[in-house]
């Protein structure tokens, strides 16, 4: 059900790309995430692999392959030209459709080629681009986007704000709750986020008014990128679900809480969430995350665990369905920028303490009615808040609905986001016996 460990995960493996050796590097040779980029002197979008502070341009690697220059000490895999062709064209979706065997095969070859002592070092070095010279775009074409609500502590805390006596609705612990979001407004890290307009209604007002949101919030989530799709009408059983997942990104589902409070009943989120969602530019593959798989144990929750229906239950999912990731929320205001102050971490937690469902369960439930997922579809986890107040993944929770402002460096406070604020998500995996890997930045600056 989960990817197996192999030589690519060896924590002693070192890359000939010197920057990949730093202890806090998000992109050592054990990671090798996929992303898309262009440069100032070439507007064509192509796929690259992050390694240290560089990007391996797979269009350039494909050209070397076609020229017969990748033989090295041994012949390259026979399938290498097939794997590289869509990547050279900037079409990561087409590569994802080739399935997990292609992804794993290319990972093994890339890992060997980028490892210290590789005979291909001199050949591949010209294919490296400085990451600072690369403009990242969305890592793939995202045709559809579904946002789940799998963080039980977030669901409980937010539910209590609206329903103090009944924070979790009766279906929550049985059904992976989700809604279909707006894929066209998903943007890559670094894209400014414009403050949305909407209908706003004060509790004591007789009628709503139209204006800019004053309770603009963030949501700390992970996004699972679908690799191989399924046919319409053919559900994906739990035992096969992870074979349909390509990897993970960070996801900030920006939320206008004042707009949301007025519009969300009876059909759920609409304008409060469709104005922007930010993702990190690098997809960390399921293979890279293999050393960090852990048993899935549901967080302690009010009312206990009622159990799981059979189609969402299996021993392999219980044994290794979770991933041990550390999650962080960072904030930097315009005043902090002007004073030369760095961003401050306002929350930190772990995924294992937040999620009521695994990724496999989310995908299986999504398809059980016959929905056909496609390569590049994005499945958001929902806000991943821990049980403690300082582990909250949104300002709504961190400030108790705006009643308890956050204190920031320089004497500022925040209840919700103001113009000029930059909100960033970070995530990394770190365990004894494995090399630390990370996801890179997922940042957005609020503009009026």
Write the secondary structure of the chain as one string of H (helix), E (strand) and C (coil): CCCCCCHHHCCCCCECCHHHHCCCCCCCCCCCCEEEEEECCEEEEEEEEEECCEEEEHHHHHHHHHCCCCCCCCCCCCCHHHHHHHHHCCCHHHHHCCCHHHHHHHHHHHHHHHECCCCCHHHHHHHEEEHHHEEEECCCCCCCEEEECCEHHHHHHHHHHHCCCCCCCCCCCCCCCEEECCHHHEEECCCCEECCEEEECCCCCCCCEEEECCCEECCEEEEEEECCCCCCCCCCCHHHHHHHEEEEEEEECCEEHHHHHHHCCCCCCCCCCCCCEEECCCEEECCCCHHHEECCCCCCCCCCCCCCCHHHCCHHHHHHCEECCEEEEEEECHHHHHCCCCCEEEEEEEHHHCECCCHHHHHHHHHCCCCCCCCCCEEECCCCCCCCHHHCCCHHHHCCCCCCCEECHHHCEECCCCCCCEEEEEEEECCCCCCCEECCCEEEEEEC
383 pLDDT more than 90: yes
Q: What is the mean pLDDT of residues 137-143?
A: 98
* Tens digit of each residue's pLDDT (9 = 90 or more) over 38-97: 999 999 999 999 999 999 999 999 999 999 999 766 678 999 999 999 999 999 999 999
- Give the model's confidence band at 3: pLDDT under 50 very low, under 70 low, under 90 confident, else very high: confident
Domains 24-137 and 145-447 share a fold: no
The yes-or-no verdict on residue 202 having pLDDT over 80 is: yes
Catalytic residues: 154
pLDDT at res. 1: 64
Fold that domain 145-447 belongs to in CATH? Fumarylacetoacetate hydrolase; domain 2 (3.90.850)
* Mean pLDDT (the chain, rounded): 96
- Of the pLDDT bands very low, low, confident and very high (cuts 50, 70, 90), residue 141 is very high
Mean pLDDT of 248-267: 95
Q: What percent of the chain has pLDDT over 70?
A: 99
Tokens encoding 107: 């990972």
- Residue 265 confidence class, pLDDT cut points 50, 70, 90: confident
Q: Is the pLDDT of residue 12 over 70?
A: yes
Query: In the CATH scheme, what is the homologous superfamily, with its name and number, of domain 24-137?
Result: Fumarylacetoacetase, N-terminal domain (2.30.30.230)
Please state the domain extents for the chain: 24-137, 145-447
As a whole number of Å, the end-to-end CA separation of the chain is 46
Q: Say how many C-beta atoms besides its own lie within 10 A of residue 135's C-beta.
A: 14
């Amino acid at each position: 059900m989960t990817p197996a460990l192999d030589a690519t995960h060896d924590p002693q493996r070192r890359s000939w790309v010197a920057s990949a050796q730093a202890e806090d590097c998000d992109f050592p040779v054990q990671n090798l995430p996929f992303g898309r980029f262009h440069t100032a002197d070439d507007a064509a979008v192509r796929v690259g692999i992050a390694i240290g502070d560089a990007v391996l341009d797979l269009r350039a690697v494909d050209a070397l392959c076609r020229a017969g220059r990748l033989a090295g000490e041994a012949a390259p895999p026979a399938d290498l030209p097939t794997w590289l062709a869509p990547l050279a064209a900037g079409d990561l979706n087409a590569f994802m459709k080739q399935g997990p065997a292609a992804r794993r095969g290319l990972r093994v070859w890339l890992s060997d080629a980028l490892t210290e002592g590789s005979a291909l070092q001199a050949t591949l070095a010209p294919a490296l681009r400085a990451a600072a010279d690369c403009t990242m775009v969305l890592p793939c074409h995202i045709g559809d986007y579904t946002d789940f609500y799998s963080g039980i502590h977030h669901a409980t805390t937010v539910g209590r704000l609206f329903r103090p006596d009944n924070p979790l609705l009766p279906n929550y612990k049985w059904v992976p709750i989700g809604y279909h979001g707006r894929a066209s407004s998903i943007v890559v890290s670094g894209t400014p986020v414009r403050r949305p307009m909407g209908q706003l209604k004060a509790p004591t007002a007789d009628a709503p008014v139209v204006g800019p949101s004053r309770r603009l919030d963030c949501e700390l989530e992970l996004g699972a990128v679908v690799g191989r799709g399924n046919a319409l009408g053919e559900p994906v059983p739990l035992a096969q679900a992870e074979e349909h997942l390509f990897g993970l990104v960070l996801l900030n589902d920006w939320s206008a809480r004042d707009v949301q409070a007025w519009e969300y009943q009876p059909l759920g989120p609409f304008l409060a969430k469709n104005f922007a969602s930010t993702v990190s530019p690098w997809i960390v593959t399921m293979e890279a995350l293999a050393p960090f798989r852990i048993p899935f144990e549901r967080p302690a929750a009010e009312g206990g665990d009622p159990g799981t229906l059979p189609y969402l239950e299996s021993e392999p999912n219980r044994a290794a369905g979770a991933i041990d990731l550390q999650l962080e929320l960072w904030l930097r205001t315009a005043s902090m920028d002007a004073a030369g102050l760095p961003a401050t971490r306002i929350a930190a937690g772990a995924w294992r303490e937040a999620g009521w469902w695994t990724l496999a369960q989310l995908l299986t439930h999504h398809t059980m009615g016959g929905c056909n997922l496609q390569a590049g579809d994005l499945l958001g986890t929902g806000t991943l808040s821990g049980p403690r107040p300082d582990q909250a993944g949104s300002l709504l929770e961190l400030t108790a609905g705006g009643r308890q402002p956050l204190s920031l460096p320089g004497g500022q406070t925040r209840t919700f986001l103001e113009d000029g604020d930059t909100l960033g998500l970070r995530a990394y995996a770190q365990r004894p016996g494995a090399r630390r890997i990370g996801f890179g930045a997922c940042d957005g600056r609020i503009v009026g």
